Structure 1
Amino acid sequence: MAGDGADLETDVLVVGGGPVGLAAAIEARRAGLGVVVLEPRAAPIDKACGEGLMPGTLVAVRRLGIDPPGWPLRGISYRQDGAVADHRFGDGPGRGVRRTSLHAALHAAALDAGATVLARRAAAVVQDAEGVATAGVRARWLLGCDGLHSRVRREAGLEAGAAGRGTARPRRYGLRRHFRVPPWSDLVEVHWGPRAEAYVTPVAEDLVGVALLGPPGTDFATELATLPELAERVAGARPDGPVRGAGPLRVRSTARTAGRVRLVGDASGYVDALTGEGLRVGLAQARAVVAHLDDPAGYERAWARATREVRLLTAGLVAAAASPLRRRVVPAAVRAPGLYGAVVERLAR
C-alpha cells in the first residue's frame, strides 16, 4: 500500500486493547497469524461495567487460558419495593471479577500468545484490495475493537448513529462505583428504581460494585437514595475509587464488514447493558471474526447468530424499562418464576 506510511506489517491489526480486542488477538495467534494491537492506554484498563461474568462467559474466558480471581455468582435477583424474584443458575456459578483484574489477565495472555501491543491511537484508515493500514501499521485485516465510540466504525463508513437519532428510544448511560464492604449475597442483585436499575456485583471478599443504568443526567448518589434496601447496605461503606461513567449504551452499525475491516464487540453495535451479556457476546464475536477473516458474509451471519437472542431480549427489557411498564417488570418476574428463570438461564449460557 504505497503512501500509507506503514512502518510495521502484520496479518491482523487489532484496534482497541480492551477485553474483546485482547481476546481477538489471542484467537488470531492461535490461528497462527501475526497480530499487532493498538491501545494507547496502559494496562490494566478500567471501565464502568457490571463486572459479573455469567456462567457461559466464565467458560469462554477460561477457554482463552485465564481464570481471574473474583467472587462466585450463583444467580440473579430482581428486587423492587420489597418484591424479590431470585433464580439460581442451573449449570454452575459465574463470577464477579474486577474489570482491572480481567483486563490484566487477558493482557498478559495476549502477550504470552505472541501478540505485539503498541501504545498508539488509530488514525485515518487506508485500505485497498491487498490490505489496510492505520497509525503506521499495515495488515491484511483490521479488527475494530475500539468500543462504543469507535473511530474504526466511522473511518470504515459503518456508523449508523446512537439511540435517539431518528428513533423513539431514549439514550441510556452507565455509572459504576465500588464500595469496601463484605458481600451479603452470592447473587447479582438488580434493584429496579423509579428511573434507573442498579446492578450489585460482589467482586472480592471485601468489595462490591454497584453499576447504575439510567437516562441522561443520572446522578449516582441521587439514584442510590431511591433504592432504600441497597442504600442501607452500603451506608457508611468506604467508596473504593471514583464514579465511572459510560454511554450512550445503544449504538448501531450499518454492517460489520467493509473491505478488510471487521467490527467486533461494542464497536459492531450495542443495545444496552441491561442483561449483562456484552462480554460473552463480544468474546463469541472475537472467535467468529478470526474464523471468517476471508469470508465477510460468513462473519455477518456468525455475528447475527451470536447477538440475535441478546438483542431481542435486551430490546424488550429496555423498552419496558423506559415505559410506564417499568414498575411491572419485577412483579411480573415474581408472578411467573418459571418464565423469569428461563430467561435468566438463556442469558447465563
Structure 2
Amino acid sequence: MDVKEAVKRQNEVAMMVSRHLFSTIAKHSNSVFSPASMNAAFTMMASGPGSSIIADKILSFLRSSSIDELNSVFGVIATYVFADGSNIGGPTIKVVNGACIDQSLSIDPSTKSLFDNFFKAVLASVDFKTQFEELRKEVNSWALHHTNGFIKDLLPQGSVTDETIWIYGNALYFKGAWEDKFDRSMTNDRDFHLLDGTSVSVPFMRSRKDQYIQAYDGFKVLKLPFRQGHGDTSGSFSMYIYLPNEKDGLDNLVEKMASGLGFLDSHIPSQKVEVGEFRIPKFKIEFGFLATQVFNILGLDYVDMYQKAYVEIDEEGAEAATATAFVGVFGCAFVNRIDFVADHPFIFVIREDKTGTALFVGQIFDPS
C-alpha cells in the first residue's frame, strides 16, 4: 500500500472540489475550505456504525481502494500533519474528532475501540428523535471551542432533524509563524485590481529578501515556509500563492490546477531567487458552505457537509481554523530575478510538505 500515492489522489480530489466550489457557490468571491478536515470526517464516516450505507461511495469519491487504505492515510496525517509543534517553537495545531450516532444504530466494541484509540474521537450514542435541536447546538459549541472561537454556528437551524442518524465532525486550528517574518515598517497601502476593472487600496507586505518563487507557463508560485520547531522531525508547513500573469486569469488557473494530475507536487519552488518588486496583501477571510450541491455534481448524493473556515495572514504568519460536520439522514532550476506582485486575484494553499497534505485551499478576489 503506497500511502503517499493515496495522499496524492486525495489532493487531486481536493483540487476537483475546489474547482467546483470556486466556479459555483463561491464564483469570483473570497473563499476557503479545508480538504484535510473534510477527509478526516469522511474517513471516520466510512468506518462508523451503519457505514455500509455510504462506505463504497466515500471510497469512490476519495479514489481509495479500501477502508484500510483510508485509515492508513489518516494514521500518517495524524502523526505528521496533525502533530502540535508549539512546545518546540513550531506551528500550533489542534485537531479534534467526534461523532454522534443515533441510538437506533448499534455500536459494536471493535468500532468503539477504533474511534477511541485510533481516531481519538468521542463516539456518542444519542437520541436524535427527541433531542435533535439540543444536539445541533452542542455540535456548534464544540466547533466554537475547538477552533479558538473562530467557527461560529457551523450547523444552521434546520440542518439537524428527527430523521438525522449521525453527525461526524472534525475541528482543526492552525497558527504558524513565517520562517522569515515581514517587517511591519515596510507594509504600505497599494492598489489591488478587481475583476470589474476597479481597484481597492489594501495593505501590502513587502520584503527585499530572496524568496522561493518559480515562474511557469502563465503563472508564478510563491512558497512561504513556516518556522519549524527546534529538532522537529514531524511536519514541515508552507503557504503557497499561485498568481496568474493576467489580472483576470484566475479562472483558467483554477481549471489548470484541477485538471493536471499531481499539480501541487509538480509546482513547488525549489530554490530561493533574488526578487525585484515583491509584495503580497494582508488578508482575513471567513467562508462557510453546504457542500450538497458540489457533492451531487461529483456523484456523492445524499450527503450534507457543512464546513466553515477562517484564514488570516499578516507580517507575523498565518492563523487558520475550520470545522466540518457531515449530517446523515436515513437513506443517505535556474531562475533570474523575479517580480511577484500579488495585486490581482490569486489562489493560496496551506500545505504540509512531507506528506503533501493540503490543509486549506482558498482564493482571494478582494483582500479589503
TM-score, reference length from structure 1: 0.25
TM-score (norm 2): 0.24
Q: Larger % of strand: which?
A: 2
